[in-house]
Amino acid sequence: MNGCKKMVRGLSALLLTATLLFTGMMLPAKSWAVTSAPGVWDLMVFGNYDMVSPNNGDVFQNYATLPNVTTPTWKNQLNNGYGAGLGLAYWFNDTIAFRLMAQGNFFQASSSALFKTTASESAPITGGFEAKLYGDTDYYVYALVDAGAAYELSLPNTSSPALSATGSTNAWSSYGDAGLGLNLDYVFVEVKVAYLMDFMPKSASSQNAFWYIPVTAGFNF
């Protein structure tokens, strides 16, 4: 009797497995994420690696007249930065989405900087659009543009990466970026060019705008 019950259970498990395999082969392989479709909302959680501007303009113009002093530029004053953020996108149709994003980025002075204990924080808050260039609802290439304002802080006496809510100078700067992205179901990657009108407000360095290249990777929910 027990042998019959075991055989029935084994056959049932085998039948269930075969049914699931057959169903999987018959149904088309389609993601359930539906990242881009009319009326779809996407929550984005992401991190940035920010490649510092190769800007060759004078950052501190008053140093240009000093003897034996190399004129500072953003490239020789800052290391590449990093950051993270959150975003929300709403798809109007199959190709166009509106998005809101908030992020924070940290830049540490390089070892060759005039002020080696200086660091800076940038917190852009933006609205923008992304437009699908090629692909389907979950796997596609897109173009993007964002614009808004960034809260800027300069942090003196900072010899190692550390985030802070206060700094020696702080103010708002206009901000904008544009680039390309690749969405792979729940994962996305973007490469952008970002521009700040006033990277270190209320200081000598405000004489020169700052641009950098954020490489962003994150998740859609």
- The CATH number given to whatever domain includes residue 55 is 2.40.160.20
Say yes or no: 4 and 67 in one domain. Answer: no
- Cα dihedral 25, 132, 187, 179, rounded to 10, equals 150
Average pLDDT over every residue of 123-152: 95
What span, in angstroms and rounded, lies between the C-alpha atoms of 191 and 135?
18
Which one, of 206, 187, 87, lies nearest residue 146 by Cα? 87
What pTM does this model have? 0.76
What value does the mean pLDDT take over residues 12-36? 54
Residue from 98, 96, 107 nearest 49 by CA: 107
Are 72 and 112 within one domain? Answer: yes
What pLDDT is stored for residue 43 in this prediction?
Answer: 95
71 and 127 belong to one structural domain:
yes
Asked if 120 and 21 sit in the same domain, the reply is no
Q: Got the DSSP string for 134-191?
A: EE-SSEEEEEEEEEEEEEEEEESS--S----S--SEEEEEEEEEEEEEEEETTEEEEE
pLDDT 10s digits, 4-19: 545 545 555 555 555 5
Q: Are residues 142 and 62 in the same domain?
A: yes
pLDDT, mean over the chain: 79
Domain residues for 25? 1-30
Contacts of 110 (CB under 8 A, 6+ apart): 76, 77, 78, 79, 116
Number of domains in the chain: 2
Co-location of 80 and 167 in the same domain? yes
